A and B are shown apart, each in its own frame.
Chain A
Amino acid sequence: MKPLQVRAHLAFGIAQAAPWGIALDGLLASELWARQKASCRERGQEYVRAMERDDPPDLDLPLARCTPTDGPWHWAATCALPDQDSGRVDVHTWTGRVDARALEQVSTGLPKTVSDRQGRFRARRMPLLVTPCASVTWHAVGDPTAIRELLEPVVSIGKKRSTGEGHVLCWEVQLAEDLDEFTAGHLHPDGTLGRPCPQTCRDRAGAEVVDGGLGRAGIRPPYMHPARQHQLALPALLSS
C-alpha cells in the first residue's frame, strides 16, 4: 500500500449533488459490488442489496484502512477535487415522466389516468448541478495496480451518466512519493480536508486545514446506509 494520486480526465465535467466530490472508495466499492452481483447471477444465486441489509458487508478494497483510536474506521482515500476551479456550477436540467406502458406491464390494475401533474407519478423537471472541469484528482493509500484494474472499465462517473454526464476520457494512477500516508488518505491536493472523517483524524490534520464543518455523513461505502452514518468532520466544500 503506497500513497497515490488518481486522476480522471473528463470530457467536460462532472454532475454531482453533494457539495464535495465523489469518494474514491465509493467508486471502487461500486465496481466490486457490480462484479459480485454479476457473479451471483452467473451462479444463479440471489443477492441482497447492501442497502437492504442491517449490516452491509465491507468489500475488500485495494486501499489502506485508517483506524483512529476514537471513531469509526475508514478507507484511506479522498473525495474528488476538480483540478480546474472555475468557481461556478453549470445548471443542466433533466426531465422524467412515468412510462404508462411500463406501468401496464407491472400492475394488475391501473386507474383510468395516471396524472403527471400531481401525486407520486408527477413529471419531473429537475436541475442537475454540473461542475465544469477537465479532470478531477483523488489522493489515496493503496495498491496502484489493483486500483487501476478496477477503474479501467469505469467510463463515466457522477450523476446522470447514461445521458453523457461525467464521461471519463482516461484514468491515471501514479505514486505520490512526496505525500505521507495521513495526507494521502485525508487531504485534497490543495491541502483542504478531502473526506468525511472522525474528529480524531480532523484534529490530526491541524487547525489550519479548511473543512466543511461538522455534520452527519457516511464514513465508508455504502455511504447512504444508516449504519454507516456518523457525526463527522465534513470535507471542504466546492467553491460553488
Chain B
Amino acid sequence: MTAGLDVRALQGLRASRRDLDLIRCRIRAHLDRHEGYVAFSGGKDSLVVLDLVRQVAPQTPVAFFDSGLEFPETYAYLEQLTKMWSLNLHVIPARMTTLEVLAGNGGWDHQAPDRPALNLHQVLIVEPAAAAHRAHGPGELWGVRAEESRGRAAAYANALRAVTCPCTDTCTGQQRRARHGGLISRVDGTVAYGPVWDWHTDEIWGHISRHRLPVNPVYDKLRRLGAPEHFLRVSGMIDGTRLEEGRITWLRRGWPALFEELSAVLPRIREFV
C-alpha cells in the first residue's frame, strides 16, 4: 500500500475534532483527586490514553496486567516503550496465567473431566487491578471505549446519566458528554476515567498517526495476515472469547509454533481453526 492510499496516514492529516485541552484538564483533575495509575494493555486505545496522560503527568504509574499469555511481540514492545518514554511501569502478573486457568477447568480437552472453572475476568483483571489500586490509589485511567461492546456502552451511558451536573443549563448533549462522560465510579470506591471513551476506531488511529506514536507490532502482523479491523486486538493471545469468529485462525497462521504449544495443553483449540 502506498502512503497516499494509507487510510491511517490520511486520518492523521485531519485535525482532531476532540477538545484535547479539555481531556488533558480532566486527566489532571482525575489524578489530583484520586491519584491512581494508567492501565496499559499494549493496545492502541491504551496507547492513546498513555500518550495523553504523559502530556499531563509523565511520571504517573503505568500498570500492565500480565496474563502470562500475551503475544511475544507485546512483551518486547512494552520493554521498548518503557525505555523510549521512560515510563514508570509496574508489571502486575495474574496469580494464575490464562493458560493455567483454561487448562484447569477441563473444558479444552475432551478427555479431561470438567472441573469448577475460575472466573478469567476476576483472575486477569479484577485482582491485578485491586493490587494496582492498593499501590497507587483509587483512580484509574484506561482505554476502554463504548464502541467496543454493548456492555461497555451501557456502563458509560448509565454512569453519565447518574452524574449530577453542577454546570449551567448549557451543559447538555455533546458538551455534557465531553465534560462529564467516561467516568465510572465503582462500589469499592475506585474511579475509572476513560479519556477516549466515546472515540471511534478511526479517531484512535488518526491520533496515533498524527502524533507518530509507536504501535504494538502485533497490529501490523495481524493486518498482513488479512485480519479484519475488529480482529486487530493485541490483548492476550487467547481468552475464550470470539473463538467462533475465528480468533484462533489468525493465531495459527501468524504464530504457528505458539499455536502448537497451546494446542498441546488445550487440544480443543484445533476445533476453532
A binds B: yes
Interface extent on B, as a size class? 20 to 34
Bitwise, A214-240 to B at CB < 8 A (1) or not (0) is 111100000010100100001001001
Question: Cβ of A124 and Cβ of B244 under 8 Å apart?
Answer: yes
Q: In whole angstroms, what is the CA distance A89 to B273 when docked?
A: 16
Q: In whole angstroms, what is the CA distance A20 to B256 when docked?
A: 9
**Which segment, of B138-146, B194-202, B222-230, faces chain A?**
B222-230
In the complex, what residues of A have CB within 8 A of residue B270's CB? 224
In the complex, what residues of B have CB within 8 A of residue A20's CB? 256
Interface of chain B residues 209 through 232 with chain A (CB within 8 A): 224-228
Q: What are some 7 contacts across the A-B interface (CB < 8 A)?
A: A91-B226, A127-B250, A129-B225, A215-B256, A229-B264, A234-B256, A240-B225
Q: Top 9 closest A-B pairs, CB basis?
A: A215-B257, A216-B260, A127-B246, A126-B246, A124-B244, A17-B273, A89-B226, A91-B226, A17-B252
Q: In whole angstroms, what is the CA distance A127 to B246 when docked?
A: 6
Interface of chain B residues 223 through 255 with chain A (CB within 8 A): 224-228, 244-246, 249-250, 252-254
A-side interface residues toward B, CB under 8 Å? 17-20, 88-91, 122-129, 212-217, 224, 226, 229, 234, 237, 240
Kindly provide the distance from the CB of A192 to the nearest chain B CB, expressed in whole angstroms: 15
Bitwise, B145-180 to A at CB < 8 A (1) or not (0) is 000000000000000000000000000000000000
Kindly provide the distance from the CB of A132 to the nearest chain B CB, expressed in whole angstroms: 12
In the complex, what residues of A have CB within 8 A of residue B224's CB? 240
Closest to A213 in B: B257
Question: Cβ of B244 and Cβ of A18 under 8 Å apart?
Answer: no
In the complex, what residues of A have CB within 8 A of residue B257's CB? 213-217, 234
In the complex, what residues of B have CB within 8 A of residue A122's CB? 244
Question: Cβ of B244 and Cβ of A19 under 8 Å apart?
Answer: no
A sample of 5 more A-B contacts (CB under 8 A), given A19-B254, A126-B244, A127-B226, is A18-B253, A88-B226, A125-B246, A126-B249, A226-B264
